[in-house]
Structure 1
Amino acid sequence: MSTRKLGWVIATALLFLVLAVGVFLISDQIAKKTTIGIPQFQDNHIELIDQNGIVRNEDDFADRPIALFFGFTYCPDVCPTTLTTLAAARDHLNSTGMDTTALQIIFITVDPERDTPEQLKQYFSLFDVNVTGLTGSPEKVRSVLKQFGIYAQKNGQGDGDYLFDHSSAVFLYRDDGSFKGTIVHNEPIAFITEKIKSIL
């Protein structure tokens, strides 16, 4: 290869390198900006009851990373899939030698009328995952949903036979309570695992 061609190859490689670094830095800044203004977990006011009948508030979950999502125990697809996927991601990280015991998986119901503490406890027993379920009066649950910007709409008014359309994302928080990002429904397990790893 001539000196001139070699120079062009090196120049082209350097250009691609500069562009790649630029794209990375820009995307990183965009990611940071998208989380600016989102309150820390502890800035929200929570006063709900867990599956063991214990009143819990936002401070009970301080100093440990959080994976938070909203759902209901009569959910036919999204909620059980989310629990199963989070458990699989946790197990994969454990298999690589990473300690995931600090991770708190929190499930806040959008259906407090049916999701009593007893119902939550029975539901979680079906999954191999350590999760804290939270419920409460309809007023207190609505307050929490509003604070986190969660959409939840009841479909059907039959005798206890109804479903909910609801936000399905998992919200990730670092151990200092700051918001890290989200996991969307049906995201590849490899991406989910890396996202959870990033808050541990």
Structure 2
Amino acid sequence: MSFLRKHSFKIAVLALCAAMGIYLLYMYGPKKAEPLPLLQAAPAFEMNDIDGKPVSLESTNGKVRIVYFYFANCPDVCPPTTFMLGEAQDILREQGTLGDKVELISITFDPERDTPDAIRQFAERTSVDTDGWHFLRGEEEATIQLARDFEVGVIKVEKENTFAHFNVITLVDQNGQIREWINGNDEELTPEYIVQQINKLL
């Protein structure tokens, strides 16, 4: 009893320090990643890749998918966003999930000009490869509607033969559910963030 009275102040300080440590660990320590919400079912599609092979939402089920709508003649957002996705592709390859667990799918709005050769040249310009990455082509009107069904706004500007569109990266889980729309125009967006969000689904 005399020991407790003699050292009561020290004990109180130690208890306070322990409580503060627990609080700081709770507030700022490592946390379990919050799961991504279920937003909506991804629209079904089937198109050919640049090698003429059919690829569909169903055929890629069981993998996390990054879906991106673009066109190769895009004068602004598509090339840098595709380049960033290529950097994410490199990280996925390094961590061993590219292809087996994660695939990228890019779908062109402009199949008339985006021939397989034109798409290969676009991929080369943006420093990406087709390892674990499907570049798909379909009918223009159907693709525009598909993009809208993915909540990616797009309008064809007939006079200039171009497309105005939202720059959105869509994360689709293994079961075909959309889990996140990522703003490709966000100046703070990094390939590491994209991979971080993908890893929440693995």
Residues 35-50 of structure 1 aligned to structure 2 (within 5 Å):
35-39=37-41, 41=42, 44-50=43-49
Contact 2:69/2:108, CA 8 A, preserved across alignment: yes
Aligned-residue offset at 1:7: 2.5
Aligned-residue offset at 1:144: 0.8
Q: Greater CA radius of gyration, 1 or 2? A: 2
CA 171–37 in structure 1, closer or farther in 2 if over 3 Å, else same = closer
Q: Tell me the distance in 1 between the aligned counterparts of 2:164 and 2:146.
A: 17
Identical residues among aligned pairs (%): 23
Number of aligned pairs? 186
Structure 2 counterpart of 1:193: 195
TM-score by length of 1: 0.73
Structure 1 counterpart of 2:104: 105
CA 195–129 in structure 1, closer or farther in 2 if over 3 Å, else same = farther
CA 155–59 in structure 1, closer or farther in 2 if over 3 Å, else same = same
Residues 158-169 of structure 1 aligned to structure 2 (within 5 Å):
158=160, 160=161, 162=162, 164-169=163-168
Unaligned runs of 5+ in 1: none
Question: Deviation per CA, 1:121-173, whole angstroms, max 9, x where unpaired?
Answer: 44334433213222222331133112211111344713x4x3x3322221122
TM-score by length of 2: 0.73
Q: Tell me the distance in 1 between the aligned counterparts of 2:197 and 2:16.
A: 39
Task: Specify the SS of the correspondent of 1:157.
Answer: helix
Contact 1:49/1:55, CA 8 A, preserved across alignment: yes
Structure 1 counterpart of 2:72: 73
Contact 1:93/1:197, CA 8 A, preserved across alignment: no
Counterpart of 1:8 (choices 1, 16, 21) is 16
Contact 1:93/1:193, CA 8 A, preserved across alignment: yes
Task: Specify the SS of the correspondent of 1:53.
Answer: coil
Task: Specify the SS of the correspondent of 1:90.
Answer: helix
Q: Tell me the distance in 1 between the aligned counterparts of 2:182 and 2:141.
A: 27
Q: Tell me the distance in 1 between the aligned counterparts of 2:65 and 2:143.
A: 19
Q: Tell me the distance in 1 between the aligned counterparts of 2:107 and 2:136.
A: 5
Question: Deviation per CA, 1:91-145, whole angstroms, max 9, x where unpaired?
Answer: 23434x5242323211112234433444334433443321322222233113311
Alpha-carbon RMSD across the aligned residues, in angstroms, is 3.0
Aligned-residue offset at 1:88: 1.8
Letter in 1 for 2:75: P
Unaligned runs of 5+ in 2: 1-8
CA 166–3 in structure 1, closer or farther in 2 if over 3 Å, else same = same
